[in-house]
Amino acid sequence: MPYLGSEETLKELKRALSNPSIQADRLRYRNVVLRVIRLMTQGLDVSPLFMEMVKASASVDMVQKKLLYLYMCTYAPLKPDLALLAINTLRKDCADSNPMVRGLALRNMCNLRMPGITEYIQQPVLAGLRDKASYVRRVAVLGCAKMQNLQPEAEIDGAVVNELYGLLRDPDPVVMVNCLRALEEMLKAEGGVVINKPIAHHLLNRLKELDSWGQSDTLTFLLRYEPRDEAELFDILNLLDGHLQSSHGAVATATLRLFLRLAAAHPAVQADALSRAQGPLLAMCASASRELRFAALCHVRRLLRSVATQYAAHYKRFFCSYSEPGYIRLCKMDILVELVNDENVALVLEELRAYCTDVLPELAQAAIFAIGRIGQMYSERCLGILVSLLGLRQEHITSAVLQTFRDLVWLCPQCTTAVCRAVASLEDSIQDSEGKQALIWLLGAHGDKISSAPYVLEDYIDSLKAELSSLVKLELLTATVRLFLSRPAETQDMMGRLLHYCIEEEGDMCVRDRALLYYSLLLCGVEDIRRILGGPTTDASLGVIAGHSEEPVDSWAPHFNTLELLLARGCVHMLAGRLPAPPSDGPHSSLSLSLEPALSPESFERHWLELDVSHVGPVTCPWPHCLPEALQAALQLVQIQVLAFSRPQSLPWKAYLYSHGDGTLILAEVLRDSTQGADHLQLTMKQVPRDKHVLQGFVAVLKSALQALSRDTS
Amino acid sequence: MISQVFILSSKGDHLIYKDFRGEAKSDVVNVFYQMVTDLPADQPPVLMTHEGLHFIHVRQGGLYCVATTTANVSPFTIIEFLNRLTALIKDYCGSLSEKSVRMNFALIYEMLDEMLDYGYIQTTSTDILKNFIQTEAVSSKPFSLFDLRSVGLFGAETQQSKVAPSAAASRPIMSSRGDQEGKNEIFVDVVECLTVVIGSNGVLMKADIQGEIRVKCYLPSCSEMRIGLNEELSIGKSQLRGYGAAVRIDECSFHQAVRLDEFESYRILKICPSQGEQTVMQYQLCDDLPSAPPFRLFPTVERDSGDRLLIYLKMRCDLPPKSVVPSDFTTNLVLACILKPTTSLSQELSSPDQSAELQPSCKVIQWEIPRFPGGAQLSALFKVEVPGLSAASLLEVGPVCMSFELPKHTCTGLQIRFLRLSPAQPGPSQRWVRYLTHSDSYTIRI
């Protein structure tokens, strides 16, 4: 009960610490100190005991000394004046004949984070650099970095830096690595430690002496070395070769990263390194430590975007097992989708099918989405599985299947008939709003092929009062009006009721405005509304979900073996640092674009179909020859979102963008058509509400971003 | 570089906290605990970020071992370091649990102080650390009747005393009392993790063995040890050695310190083991097992009159009779997520010492089997009331997941031929070789 009556406890400890009879008994004294440290760990503030604890540090007992140093380092920032009392003891210990005592004292003296300590530690640290015991030198080297950190505004002592560079040749390997680490921190402002040719080769030759931690750190430092010529490059790669298959995962991955970096100009060498590092990565994917397993899986998932074929033979390693936690299974399913080929598709689908009835709904849904993604290539097999899943009549399964259907119909028009048949025989109701939206969209877009469509929609309209999600209501409005176009007789009556309810009784302004819009459109006549709403219901050239192009290795190699890959965000964040910011002057400087509120692909499509063209014209700027993902990232920096784009090599190439500016929503289509010359870009824009000034600003922003990007890639 | 290291109990109590760089305050410990307990089930907990501070943790023995960092470092380094830290705690304190960490917190602080300086890893080798660590480990060994089993009548050696007691390898490596007990022991364990998926038609869909040879050494002075493996061991798909049934593995990797000069011709590993536990060799075998998987299942799932589900399971153990007795044998029959069983389960099991229960929350019937000798056949009949049972949902029952341990058995057939210490140890020393097959995941679809 340390938190209750802590005052009492502190008083009691204070008494005990200053009790001479306890002080005389080594074991009892140590036990009291132990109690203090225990309370400190539990989060209790035991700093009032500082005075007594400083006295206790004069003990000869090593264990007690270590505990007291821990105490002092924790509370020194709070009690700097009292901590100065301990300095004398520490300085005396720094001159002890036992290197262990010297090292311990020096390390902890440097750990006292308080102002004014530097003047006391400078001399012992410098002496420590020349100590004959390597243990003390290790501590002293890092002490230099700590000292610098304590007074960041102070000028860097050139002599110390030189001494540290000299200590790279120290016989003790840990001293060498510590020198690198210390120099890196001290010279942060100048770009870190300099790795020139002699240093690089020295490090490479000593790599074998280091333990695995030192190796992986050194390999990371070597990333900044640029070999002079090809011969040197291949010498280095030869030296590194053995480490590529190290049994320590950290070393193997650090080596691979260095390989990819050094051989950036030699794709064949990169591919070879990737295939040889497969062993350690696969071993980690099956490691007993689930955290290590997860980290390795995240890396493999990223690798697969460039070298899917290499891992295809090992697809069985990525089957999930019963005992694994959900996040590992989700990661494995992602990988399985990437590994599918003609030979293994049957087995992979059978495996994924088994996960669809998992007890955890999230996993079951993820498995269904995975089958849907495979369905973009193997639509017939997958449709069979998905349709059979509907027979289970489980809410979460049905909802996921419908969402998958919506994507499939959009991307693979040949599935439409089968999907419509399955939807038509759907009997049970769906509760979650994602599933409802998918079903309503399907009914609206393909209502002519689903005989029961009007009756299902009517059920939703009748229970509209109980509906909570406004997204579902918006979807319902669009779907009903669309269905009215194809089956007017059955739909007219209920559409009237729906519009009446939404205009008269609905509380959500978005829904009400949408209903008013449709109402006025209907007043304009059926032909007009058909022209606006009756756009395409499928478009295979849109790559919203299917971004299956192979990425170059360099797009992820700089982030290999870093935390970035575990965060599993898109490539957007990685590119952010590399692209130049657009010039801030110019005509658009007054315009502020924004990505918020975000637009979903479906609502973009709706807007696109509903709105009239506000501006069409060519864009006069060179086409940046970069990946669509890079374009997406670049435009995101200037607050323009690329929602969808065609596959990289296809022509004509299209991309759809949107942004918000000064209260208007701007939608744009960029079309690159080979018939008009390879660099010709045609821009079609739609805006609501109209504002010519904003539109011009948007074009300027887009143009300057494209120019910056083409400069960067050429 | 690591900013802080802390260890929390599963209830969020602070057991160890050490700040190396002074970049963040100690209240992030509570932030971490809040984040990790609030995380949704499908979110990966390994890496979490709060205001520019990354938390990386491993979960072992019911404890959270956490490292924080502000830099974009190698995740493998941090995770491997945390795993090494837990292994060292196990070595020094005997076991890794809330209790052992609480009792030995001074020792762990001492260890952390030597392992990390300013957040940079200095050393994690037991040989170096043991020179610096002066706190003695406190181990709590609960009194157990099982320990007395090995003592025969009037101190005579019984048959059982030839088997190393299971607790023998879970004691601290450095203990002054250890000498009195005369334990100059070395344990060599061959541990294999078995992953098997058998399809509903009885065909083996996936089989995967991850094996390792672990050495746990209590010898105070290190000497060279030679571990002889099967001479006919072949590595890779193409290589074949020997005439009889060869023992085959796909890939293997070794500890840095292992010398392999006699491995190619005689399959001998040479190593100077340092105190504590280390993995000498790791290997794996995929897809073709040398023998049939140890357990087979013959299930029948039927729909009785109305809403009653009948599941008849017949299970056979294909291990040679009497040689191996699996322990901790549990069979989990997963009723599909779509069934909503009532809580009542009627059961007929083949022998009275077995037990079974239905866990409605995770929709599992758990069947515990205390004894399952080789060659034997067991059966069970379960009747579950499932309201609204449909014919389609009948097909979704399963899979069956078994978990077990097979002592004295390796599925690859890898054996240790001999274990020699040279020069011979002064005084009595004991060498133990143990084999264990552990089911990582043994799944049979119905």
Write down the residue that tokens 């990797």 correspond to: B253
Whether A393 and chain B come into contact, CB under 8 Å, resolves to yes
Pairing type for strands B327-334 and B364-369 reads: antiparallel
B106–A34 CB contact, under 8 Å: yes
Contacts of A55 (CB under 8 A, 6+ apart): A17, A18
CA distance A201 to A225: 10
Is the CB of residue A415 less than 8 Å from the CB of residue A446? no
- Residue contact B74–A561, C-beta within 8 A: yes
- Alpha-carbon span B345 to B343, nearest angstrom: 6
Q: Residue B413 pLDDT more than 70?
A: yes
Dihedral of the CA atoms A27, A28, A32, A37 (nearest 10)?
10
Is the preceding peptide bond at B273 cis, omega within 30 degrees of 0?
no
Q: CB B256 to CB A212 under 8 A?
A: yes
Which pLDDT score, from 0 to 100, does residue B359 have?
78
Q: Average pLDDT of B124-132?
A: 84
Of all residues in chain B, the one with the smallest CA distance to A285 is B210
Examine the pLDDT at A20 and tell me if it is beyond 90.
no
- % pLDDT > 70, chain A: 91
CB contact under 8 A, A564 and B337: no
Q: Minimal CA–CA distance to B334: which of A544, A97, A354?
A: A354
Q: How far apart are CA A199 and CA A204, in angstroms?
A: 9
Q: Out of B14, B74, B251, name the one closest to residue A279 (CB).
A: B251
Phi, psi of A106 (to 5 degrees): -65, -45
- Among chain A residues, the shortest Cα distance to B439 is held by A323
8 Å CB contact of A392 and B80: no
Question: Hey, of B60, B65, B77, which one would you mutate to test binding to chain A, going by the most A CBs within 10 A of its CB?
Answer: B77
**Cα distance from A660 to chain B (closest Cα, Å)?**
29
Residues 6+ apart with CB under 8 A from A551: A305, A306, A627, A629
Which tens digit of pLDDT belongs to each residue from A106-149?
A: 999 888 888 788 888 889 999 999 999 999 999 999 999 998 88
Q: List CB contacts of A153: < 8 A, sequence separation 6 or more.
A: none
- pLDDT grade, residue A63 (50/70/90)? confident
> Inter-chain contact B109–A66, Cβ cutoff 8 Å?
yes
Cβ distance A392 to B392 less than 8 Å, yes or no, reads yes
Indicate which of A213, A219, A297, A356 best probes the interface with B, i.e. most B CBs within 10 Å of its own CB: A213
Average pLDDT over residues A538-550: 52
Please report the pLDDT score of residue A176 as a whole number: 94
Determine, for residues A247 and B83 on separate chains, whether the beta-carbon distance falls below 8 Å. no
Instruction: Please state at what angle helix A509-524 crosses helix A526-533, rounded to 10 degrees.
Output: 130
CB contact under 8 A, B443 and A248: no
Q: Report which DSSP code applies to A98.
A: S
Local confidence band at B84 (pLDDT 50, 70, 90 cut-offs): very high
**Closest chain A CA to residue B14:** A42
Preferred mutation among A62, A285, A291, A566 to probe B, highest tally of B CBs within 10 A: A291
Dist CA A67 CA A36 (whole Å):
10
Contact (Cβ atoms closer than 8 angstroms) between residue A262 and residue B270:
no
Decide if B86 contacts A39 (C-beta within 8 A).
no
User: What pairing do the DSSP bridges indicate for beta strands A593-594 and A653-661?
Assistant: antiparallel
**pLDDT higher at A597 or A291:** A291
For B19, the closest chain A residue by CA position comes to A74
What are the tokens at A711?
A: 């400069």
* Joined tokens for residue B258: 């292992």
Coil, helix or strand at residue A553: helix
Polymer length in residues for chain B: 446
Q: Are B26 and A43 a contacting pair at CB < 8 A? A: yes
State mean pLDDT over A677-689.
75
In terms of C-beta density within 10 A (0-12 exposed, 13-18 middle, 19 or more buried), how is residue A226 classed?
exposed
Q: B256 and A107 in contact by Cβ < 8 A?
A: no
Q: Which DSSP helix (H) or strand (E) runs through A709?
A: helix A692-713
Q: What is the pLDDT of residues B187-206, one digit of tens each?
A: 899 999 888 888 888 888 88
Cβ-defined contact of B135 to A565 (cutoff 8 Å): no
pLDDT by residue (tens digit) across B10-41? Answer: 998 999 999 998 888 888 999 999 998 888 77
B17 forms beta bridges with: B6
Q: Which amino acid is at A11?
A: K
Show residues of chain B in contact with A394, CB under 8 Å.
337-338
Pairwise CB contact (< 8 Å): B79 & A213: no
Reported confidence tier of residue B161, pLDDT bands at 50, 70, 90: very low
Q: Is the pLDDT of residue B290 over 70?
A: yes
Q: pTM score, two decimals?
A: 0.80
Rounded to 5°, angle at Cα B283 from B277 and B289: 130
Across the A/B interface, how many CB contacts are shorter than 8 Å? 214
For B64, half-sphere exposure in the C-beta direction (CA atoms, 13 angstrom radius) is 26
Please, which residues have CB within 8 angstroms of residue A161's CB and are 6 or more apart in sequence?
A183, A186, A187
Token pair in block for residue B123: 């050393």
Name the token pair of A34. Answer: 């132990």
Query: According to the model, what pLDDT value does residue B75 have?
Result: 92
Mean pLDDT for the stretch of residues B278-299? 85
Does a cis peptide bond (omega within 30 degrees of 0) precede residue A689?
yes
Chain A, window 55-84: residues with a beta carbon less than 8 angstroms from a chain B beta carbon: 62-63, 66-67, 70, 73-74, 77
Give the pLDDT band (50/70/90) at residue A218: very high
Confidence at A573, pLDDT banded by 50, 70, 90: very low
CA distance B153 to chain A (A): 41
**DSSP letter string, A315-344:** GGGG---TTS-HHHHHHHHHHHHHH--TTT
How does pLDDT run across A605-659, given as a tens digit for each residue? 877 887 777 777 777 666 666 677 777 777 777 778 887 777 766 767 788 888 8
Measure in Å the smallest separation between the Cα of B361 and chain A Cα atoms.
Answer: 10
Note whether A41 contacts B105, CB cutoff 8 Å.
Answer: yes
Using CB atoms and an 8 Å cut-off, which of residues 497-516 of chain A contact chain B? none
Q: Is the pLDDT of residue A336 over 50?
A: yes
- Confidence at residue B424, expressed as pLDDT on a 0 to 100 scale: 67
Nearest residue of A to residue B111, measured between CA atoms: A66
Alpha-carbon separation of residue B243 from A366, B148, B156, B233, B234 (angstroms)? 49, 45, 43, 11, 12
Using pLDDT thresholds of 50, 70 and 90, give the confidence band for residue A174.
very high
Buried residues in B137-160 as b, exposed as e (16+ CB within 10 A): bebeeeeeeeeeebeeeeeeeeee
Distance (Å, whole) CA B76 – CA A291: 9
Largest interatomic CA distance in chain B: 75
For Cα atoms B160, B166, B171, give the angle at the middle one, nearest 5 degrees: 130
Please give the pLDDT value at position B373. Answer: 80
A67 contacts B106? CB cut-off 8 A: yes
Mutate one of A215, A357, A389 to test the B interface: name it (highest B CB count within 10 A). Answer: A357
| Å between B392 CA and nearest CA of chain A | 6
Better pLDDT: A101 or B167: A101
In sequence order, which residues have a C-beta less than 8 Å from that of residue A220 and are 6 or more positions away?
A254, A257, A258, B74
Cβ-Cβ contacts under 8 Å, A216 against chain B: 74, 76-77
What secondary structure letter does DSSP report for A579? S
Mean pLDDT of A42-58: 83
CA geometry: angle at B424 spanning B422 and B430, to 5°? 105
CA atoms within 13 A on the CB side of B247: 15
Q: Do B75 and A566 touch (CB under 8 A)?
A: yes
* Res A572: pLDDT: 32
- Within A59-126, strands assigned E span none
pLDDT at position B147: 45
Question: Residue A250: which of B59, B77, B105 has the nearest Cβ?
Answer: B77
Q: What residues of chain A lie within 8 A of the CB of B441, using their CB?
A: 321-324
pLDDT score, position A643: 79
Q: What is the pLDDT of residue A335?
A: 92
pLDDT of A42 over the 80 cut: yes
Distance from CA of B250 to the nearest CA of A (A): 11
- How many residues comprise chain A? 714
Residues in B closer than 8 angstroms to A327, CB to CB, are 42-46
- What's the DSSP call for residue A398? H
CA-CA distance, A443 to A450, in Å (whole number)? 7
Cβ separation B332–A63 shorter than 8 A: no
Distance separating alpha carbons of residues B381 and B395, to the nearest angstrom? 18
Q: Give the residue on A whose Cα is nearest the Cα of B360.
A: A359
Question: Looking at chain A, which residue has its C-alpha nearest residue B403?
Answer: A323
Q: Which of A34, A100, A323 sits opposite B441 (nearest CB)?
A: A323
Q: What pLDDT is stored for residue A184 in this prediction?
A: 92
Closest chain A residue by Cα to residue B64: A291
Phi, psi (5° rounding) for residue A533?
A: -90, -25
B315: confidence class by pLDDT, cuts 50, 70, 90: confident
The pLDDT, as a whole number, for residue A576 is: 31
| CA atoms within a 13 Å half-sphere pointing along the CA-CB vector of A99 | 15
Cα–Cα nearest to A664, from A687, A637, A692, A697:
A687
Contact check, Cβ <8 Å, B332/A322: yes
CB contact under 8 A, B80 and A70: no
Taking CA–CA distances from A173, the nearest residue in chain B reads B122
Among A150, A148, A91, which residue's Cα sits nearest to residue A123? Answer: A91
Beta-bridge mates of residue B366: B332, B357
Measure in Å the smallest separation between the Cα of A536 and chain B Cα atoms: 36
Q: Name the average pLDDT for chain B.
A: 80
The answer, for A421 touching chain B at a CB cutoff of 8 Å, is no
Minimal C-alpha gap between A380 and chain B (Å): 21
Of A74, A142, A327, the CB nearest to B44: A327
Per-residue model confidence (pLDDT) at position A201: 92
Q: At B158, is the pLDDT very low, low, confident or very high (cuts 50, 70, 90)?
A: very low
Q: Supply the pLDDT for residue B5.
A: 94
> Worst-scoring range by mean pLDDT, A16-30, A193-207, A589-603, B118-132?
A589-603
Per-residue model confidence (pLDDT) at position B116: 93
Kindly report the nearest CA distance between residue A714 and chain B, in angstroms: 29
